[in-house]
Chains A and B, each alone.
Chain A
Amino acid sequence: MALIKVNDLTLSYENITVTEKLNFMVESGDYLCIVGENGSGKSTLVKALLSLKKPEKGTIEFGEGLKKNEIGYLPQQTSAQKSFPASVYEVVISGCLNSRGIRPFYSAKERKTALDNMEKLGISELKNRSYRELSGGQQQRVLLARALCATKKLLLLDEPVTGLDPIITAEFYELIAKINSEGITIIMVTHDISAATAYANRILCMREDRYFFGKNKEFKNSDFADLAGRKFAKGGENGD
């Protein structure tokens, strides 16, 4: 059984159907990119995968012992967060909350998990710095470390490079690829088609009327890549 299996999924947003009869699956170790224009239902799909939204029709099945609350989620940043007084350590360790139920304080094991993940992402020296004083790229690493505290299996990243400069963006993609190579499954929602085709092994491309799901190679040869490429080229983001 796959890690996630989506069957005939129909989703709606404010009573308007945004996605119909969507079928795809995520295997353990996959790197899936979800691409598509604004309004194609990407955000609604993310909510459904996180069990924050009920499907109109169809099902989302979790396999291989993946629990609903064991998805490491990297949400888009809010403006309030940018000026939030919190130390890096406080933010990272809050990722451990899903596994602890009602107990009020963190255990030694959870503190170690937090420190290990900070080490892994190269932000150990930022431990006591304030989140609001960090650069955009550092903030994303902190949120990524928090997401890793919440999961051992699956990361779900929602437009993670928004607002980052090209060098930091490239570094961030390398980091995700490294995490993926260490056995954590990645689902990334992105506008960046060139990054999707460079890193992902599977692609889900959503359009208003239809969608593509398959291997990266198949996607490159399909008319979806063409359409998407032209669309994005017009926006001036990705020229190829």
Chain B
Amino acid sequence: MTEILTDIFSTPVLVRALIVGILVSLCAALLGVSLVLKRFSMIGDGLSHVGFGALAVATVMNIAPMAVAIPVVIAAAFLLLRLSSNGKIKGDAAIALISTGALGIGVMAVSLSDGVNVDINSYLFGSIISVSRSDVVISIILALIVLFMFVFFYTKIFAITFDESFAKATGGAVSAYNMMIALLTAITIVIGMRLMGSMLISSLIIFPALCSMRVFKSFLSVTISSAVVSVITFIVGMMISYAFDAPCGASIVCVNIAAFAGFFAVGKIVNK
């Protein structure tokens, strides 16, 4: 085990992936608690598909992928939030519409372009070596912003997650905070997507929160537990990925499944 860790730390590409991964896991887990409790889990999934579409199109057109993906995913996040709140098209249908639409556009863009060597597989399922030095810098900055916002607005995020109508009635700027959460989620997804793959990134949002809710009973303890679970499952997943030469995203998801099973069992025993 220590051998694996020393190996990871002596390979710059892996160290970069580890840094980005830990920061993304942390952000995703914190936002995930609110998203899961607000019944918005699928928004994360929808956004990652939009991210895939944006990345694919950007690569084909030879533009910097992050520069395209971040604004597009943010726009999609606002759109999804609007659609699910005003209810002309029901939220779940809207998400399915947008996510499959973006996926379709992305795949078309890649297959119609000649001479561009794009590895769709790495976009869909993630790849450790795709994390560049500039990705690391951007990730650190964005992650710090997400963490700061989350801590600073924690009490408001709780109030809005628990009871939107009460928060609104007592003068809370509910739609502004909802947009903030959507914005932070969009950013987190784009950063994490290269590493985890667009098919698997939303697991970072959903699993830690669901695990923690099996066992813990207050919002604060669920939030802290999610952050811890998320970072640990990421590190363990990455070590497994390295040891067995398995894809990183899939390894992390499998570790999360195991963690969920564990939390589920503990929850059953504790809450008897």
Q: Point out residues on A near B: beta carbons under 8 Å.
A: 50, 52, 68-69, 71, 73, 75, 78, 80-81, 84-87, 90-91, 94-95, 97-98, 104-106, 128-130, 132-133, 143, 146-147, 150, 156
Contacts and interface: CB of A to CB of B under 8 A. Distances in A.
A97 B152 contact: no
A96 B167 CA distance: 10
Interface string B138-168: 0000000000000111111011001101111
B168 A94 contact: no
B217 A85 contact: yes
Contacts of A78: 163
A75 B219 contact: no
Contact of A90 (B152, B158, B167, B213): B158
Interface of B: 37-39, 151-156, 158-159, 162-163, 165-172, 212-213, 216-222
Contacts of A95: 166, 170
A128 B220 CA distance: 12
A132 B213 CA distance: 11
Contact of A98 (B39, B165, B171): B171
B171 A68 contact: yes
B169 A104 contact: no
Contacts of B169: 50, 52, 69, 71, 73, 75, 156
A52 B170 CA distance: 10
Nearest to A86: B219
A43 to B, nearest CB: 11
B154 A87 contact: no
A56 B216 CA distance: 47
A105 B166 CA distance: 19
A146 B165 CA distance: 13
B163 A90 contact: no
Contacts, number: 84
B172 A75 contact: no
Given A80-B39, A84-B162, A97 B219 contact: no
B222 A85 contact: yes
A86 B154 CA distance: 13
A124 to B, nearest CB: 17
Nearest to A96: B155
A69 B38 contact: no
B155 A94 contact: yes
A97 B153 contact: no
A104 B172 contact: no
Contact of A80 (B37, B216, B222): B37
B209 to A, nearest CB: 10
Nearest to A78: B163
Contact of A69 (B154, B171, B221): B171
A81 B162 CA distance: 7
Contact of B159 (A80, A97, A104, A129): A97
A80 B217 contact: no
Given A130-B217, A150-B170, 17 more contacts: A52-B168, A68-B171, A73-B166, A80-B39, A85-B213, A85-B218, A86-B158, A86-B162, A87-B220, A90-B220, A94-B163, A94-B166, A97-B172, A98-B171, A105-B155, A128-B218, A147-B166
Contacts of A146: 166
A97 B37 contact: no
Q: Lowest 9 CB-CB distances: which A-B pairs, in order? A: A69-B171, A130-B217, A98-B170, A87-B218, A73-B169, A50-B169, A94-B159, A75-B165, A86-B219
A187 B214 CA distance: 38
A84 B223 CA distance: 13
B154 A104 contact: yes
